[in-house]
Structure 1
Amino acid sequence: MRPRLVVVGDSLLDVDITGAVSRVCPDAPVPVVDVAGETDRAGGAALAATLAAGDGASVRLVTAIADDADGDRLRAALAGVDVVAGVAASTPVKARVRCAGQSLLRLDRGGDGPPARATDEMLDAVRDADAVLVSDYGRGLAACERLRAVLAEVDVPVVWDPHPRGPEPVPGITLATPNLAEATAFAGTGDPEAARLLRDRWRASAVAVTTGARGALLDRGNGVEPVPAAAVDAADTCGAGDRFAAAAADALMRGADTYAAVEAAVAAASRFLAEGGLSASRPEPTPEALIAAVRARGGTVVATGGCFDLVHAGHARTLAAARALGDCLIVCLNSDESVRRLKGPRRPIMGEADRAALLRALACVDAVVVFGEDDPRRVLARLRPDIWVKGGDYDPDDLPEADLVRGWGGRVVTTPLLPGRSTTRLAGALAEAG
């Protein structure tokens, strides 16, 4: 069994609202953002957990999530992450309005009510950890006395990423990772002496004060050691601290000494920023968000569907023709199980993940939705496109979904096939070629 890193702390929902600015509001000197999409992302401790999981670490997130609509969105953003969660009073949300890679405005809401308290299941998860990262976002979980007692007792590396509004780390931790502003607030000084002062006060084995582009200042009890960073030109440093703390905890869990762990963390944070930071890791807008953005601009939503097993020139022509009919194209893709029922047990040739990735790589495709039914009526009822396109020699009236689409005022369009191109023909040619 692989060692497990447990990330403990306050989780937030981050929302990125992206768009373009081409004019100024006529009644106030502010830019007008034409919204193109809205995406949800795990934030706070949940971000640290997803970043660590993205490195291949075995990660469990111990947190609290509210039973509200934003909490449901946060859970969806955490799909694939092992979560042990108590109940929070409400979900903190940070919504950033972004244009051309820059944040224009942040809107905060939620997070009200009493702080969450650790449940027995949460405490057991911490006890089972091979290393712990406390990702404190000042919302109260790190102040829970029962949790603090367990954190003070565990005999594994503990990394504490503090917050100015949060409590001080429990005594005896392996490494604290405040940034320079946090270290200054805690220690009352911003010079390299802050690392030593905090290490003594917190009775920590080591303190690494992160200093942005200069890397980190590490104190392990034998003087302050600079850990330099590679030069990186980064406009948006959001998430770099979480990237640093998660990498340090993972390295300590794998047996690195403190200096090597901080060195690895500095390198990981630099690499994270060089690759675009959170901008590079933001998920694509959901189809629903894409549709809402297109309709807000008065645009036309087009959808098409099929198996798309071995994409060929005929598919490409149909997709390009469909996209030309409107302002976005959503492809409804049959799942593997659906293809097997429709085409037989030897199909699909390519799995749904590969088929979806190939379709998304085409410039004419804006989003892909995988559905598991034998026909697309259920997914169409959810998306409600203005135009539904099918490639082939169909009579639109013979399509089972035609009446459904027309029911909300949509149109059904068919495009002719490109002669001599088919998946079956291509598969046969490949089999003959060996």
Structure 2
Amino acid sequence: MSTPVVVVGDALLDHDLTGRAERLAPDAPVPVVSGLHRGTRPGGAALAAWFAAADGREVTLVTALGDDPASRSLRDLLAPRMRLIELPLDGWLSRKTRVLAGGHPLLRLDEGDGRAAGSTPEALRAVAAAPALLVSDYGRGTPDTLREALAEAALARPMVWDPHPRGGAPVPSVRLVTPSASEARALAPAPPPRQGDHHTLRTAARDARALVRHWDARSVAVTLGERGALLSHGAEAMLVPAPTRAAGDPCGAGDRFAAAAAGLLADGELAESAVQGAVRAATEYVAAGGAGALTFAGTAEGGRETAGRDGGSAPQAAAALAADVRAAGGTVVAAGGCFDLLHAGHVALLQAARSAGDCLIVCVNSDASVRRRKGDTRPLVPAADRVRVLQALECVDAVAVFEEDTPERLLAALRPHIWAKGADYARSDLPESALLETWGGQVLLLPYLDGRSTTALAARASGAERPPARTEPAR
């Protein structure tokens, strides 16, 4: 069973306003964003706690909340998923609003300057009894109110500290500190890098070594985005590369990294394996769409909302790619299916689809969608792993997961010129055909390799005497 984790830090409330930018305003050279969709999610320490809870852990979040609308909304989002221990908040909870078009951020608005106003006996008891801790410092004072208790806890229990340039230093003896490369550069008591050396592996390694000594930490892992992370115990640094190149929304990746590392340390892993697992978790999060794939359906701020995650989708990143290719005059191709146990038939279909245009976006059924279509024994491979394998194919430019039984909603967002299907559909009525025609797209049938089947592969792997005679299409 996973070890419980106590998260101590500054909670935020994040909003995304996502739409289309297809023209400039007549009165100023700024984009006009239309067709807005509003999304709300936990931010800061609240997002890190949400990730830990999503990993199946019992989570207690110690944070400052008030009676302002943002605090009430965040309280409603978090209460069903974790235990909340609230500190007094001086001011209004900080809110961050991003405006995005085509998956790309255009503007960020920050509101609220609330700070933690003190500790409570309940919070002190929670820190003292915690089997493991994650400190998520966003410069709003929560870790400072509990610093003595955190310093004592760090001597005896696993603790991860995610620092902030406007926050205090980590307490001595903390097991792992997780600054980003830019944060490490700002916080390290080291000479500035030489010209052209900024944010390179050499600079990050030097900063990590310096910060281990400066903070009296047991280890420091400098996160490097798509390159992975550098781990140092004060000597030579170890590079932990990202398993794949992820092209999704990176917002929240640092929180995902810290939450995964804290959980793995709590379960008894060494820092090296915890950082490897954290790099993998953060990469999968970004590849699955990052913050853009975190969905919170509900009412406006102040009302109750329920949180969910599309296991492995990157619809905003895929839509941004499609928009860029269309704008450059290229041809967008999409293909879809479950892709459970990827085989040669799948690869042949995808290679043929990619040759028909300038980019290929693969639409993948979510785990729940596969179960509804193929029964409770499927999928054999979870969505996150199916996405990762597909992304490793040279012919695939982007992957997006859809929850519905059919991909019409996702196709409407992507608006591909071509929807590629296996030639076995020549005698079938495709519901997607009418949809494609609404924007001038077309369904294109492609040959597939006969005799290849996920069902047959599964039957042989399970030791069945003979595979089914029916051949599945390359889906």
Task: State the AA in 2 paired with 1:152.
Answer: A
Whole-angstrom CA distance in 2 between matches of 1:125 and 1:239? 25
Structure 1 residue corresponding to 2:296, chosen from 264, 283, 288: 283
Contact in 2 for aligned 1:66/1:87 (Cα 8 Å): yes
Give me the whole-angstrom Cα distance separating, in 2, the residues matched to 1:197 and 1:363.
Answer: 51
Instruction: Give, in whole Å, the separation in 1 of the partners of 2:15 and 2:187.
Output: 30
State the partner residue of 1:254: 267
What is the identity, as a one-letter code, of the residue corresponding to 1:241?
G
Distance 1:261 1:364, change over 3 A: closer
1:389 matched to which residue of 2? none
Q: Percent identity?
A: 47
**What does 1:58-207 align with in structure 2 at a 5 Å threshold?**
58-78=58-78, 79-89=80-90, 90-112=92-114, 115-144=116-145, 147-154=146-153, 155-187=156-188, 188=190, 189=192, 190-207=203-220
Aligned residue for 2:99, secondary structure, equals strand
Shift in CA distance, 364/265, structure 1 to aligned 2, threshold 3 Å: closer
- Contact 1:17–1:35 under 8 Å retained in 2: no
Matching of residues 226-305 of structure 1 within 5 Å: 226-284=239-297, 286=298
CA contact (8 A) 2:14 2:43 kept: yes
Aligned to 1:212: 225
Q: CA RMSD in A?
A: 2.4
Task: Using the TM superposition, name which of 209-218 and 238-247 deviates more.
Answer: 209-218
Change over 3 Å in CA distance of 1:224–1:14 after alignment to 2:
same
CA distance in 2, matches of 1:233, 1:225: 21
When normalised by structure 2's length, the TM-score is 0.58
Compute the displacement of 1:149 (Å): 0.8
For 1:139, the aligned partner's letter is R
Structure 2 stretches lacking a partner, 5+ long: 193-202, 302-402, 410-475
Superposed CA deviations along residues 183-226 of structure 1, whole A, max 9, x for unmatched, are: 11111453411111111111111111111222111112442111
1:16 partner amino acid: D
Q: For the residues of structure 1 that align with 2:253 and 2:287, how far apart are their CA atoms?
A: 11
Q: Secondary structure at the match of 1:17?
A: strand
How far apart are 1:275 and its partner, in Å?
1.0
1:56 is the counterpart of 2:56? yes
Report the Cα offset of residue 20 of structure 1: 2.2
- CA 1:287 to 1:363, structure 2 compared with 1: closer, same or farther past 3 Å? farther
Deviation at 1:233, TM superposition (A): 3.3
State how far apart, in whole Å, the 2-side matches of 1:119 and 1:195 are: 34
Alignment check: 8 A CA contact 1:195 1:208 kept = yes
Pair 1:191–1:252, CA change in 2 (3 A)? closer
Q: In structure 1, give the amino acid aligned to 2:207.
A: A
1:124/1:234 CA distance change after superposition, 3 Å? same
One-letter code aligned to 2:43: G
After superposition, residues 289-368 of structure 1 pair within 5 angstroms as: none
3-state DSSP class of the match of 1:192? helix
| Contact 1:102 1:235 survives alignment (8 Å) | no
Of residues 152-161 and 224-233 in structure 1, the stretch that sits farther from structure 2 once superposed is 224-233
Secondary structure of 2:296's partner? coil
Tell me the SS of whatever aligns to 1:127: helix
* 8 Å contact from structure 2 (residues 20, 34) kept in 1: yes
Aligned positions, number = 294
CA distance, structure 1, for counterparts of residue 12 and residue 182 of structure 2: 21
TM-score, structure 1 as length reference: 0.64
Q: Which amino acid aligns with 2:220?
A: V
Structure number with bigger Rg: 1
Alpha carbons 1:227, 1:262 under 8 Å: kept:
yes
Distance in 2, Cα, partners of 1:85 & 1:288: 23
Long gaps (5+) in structure 1: 290-358, 366-434
How far is the alpha carbon of 1:232 from its aligned partner?
1.6
Alignment of 1:406-417 (within 5 A): none
Distance in 2 of aligned mates of 1:228 and 1:44: 25
Aligned residue in 1 for 2:15: 15
